[in-house]
Amino acid sequence: MTQHQSTQTMKPATAAKKLGVYLEATPAEFREGVVSRAELNALQTDPPQWLRDLRRDGPHPRPVVAAKLGVSISGLARGGVTEPLTTEQIEALKEERPEWLERERATQAEVRKEAARLKKRERESGGSGD
């Protein structure tokens, strides 16, 4: 039996998500086509200038904004941030340190601390789920 190697493709939105960039800021030829697995791998290993610029300057999608600010995506929404932000805007928020950002960072720190505590407890109990 011969095995046919089919080319896996994905929508531009999926590829943009995997690349960590905001789809609407990508070039038209990227948004209007499909992306093969090989093309995605090539973009990841040897990013073209437009991709390097987007990753450096933005605008960034919400998951990237949340990570750069140290908060959850829900925390961004609670803080009123619903649009993609540029690196410059993110840096300005970090300098301004608005109350919502400090509150959400503290919440995120507690979530991480609790997750670590539960993971440690699970390891100590031998992972039996008790």
Q: How high does pLDDT run on average in the chain? A: 90
Per the CB < 8 A criterion, the answer to whether 110 and 116 are in contact is: no
pLDDT at 93 over 90: yes
pLDDT at 130 over 80: no
For residue 9 the two structure tokens come to: 């493709």
DSSP output for 4-47:
--PPPEE-HHHHHHHHT--GGGS-HHHHTS-EEHHHHHHHHHS-
Task: Write out pLDDT tens, residues 19-48.
Answer: 999 999 999 999 998 999 999 999 999 999
Could you give the CA distance from residue 96 to residue 32 in angstroms, rounded to a whole number? 38
Residue 59 DSSP code:
P
Whole-number pLDDT of residue 126:
75
Could you give the CA distance from residue 77 to residue 53 in angstroms, rounded to a whole number? 26
Q: Hey, is 117 helix, strand or coil?
A: helix
Report, as an integer, the average pLDDT of 116-130: 79
Report, as an integer, the average pLDDT of 55-66: 94
pLDDT at 4 over 80: no
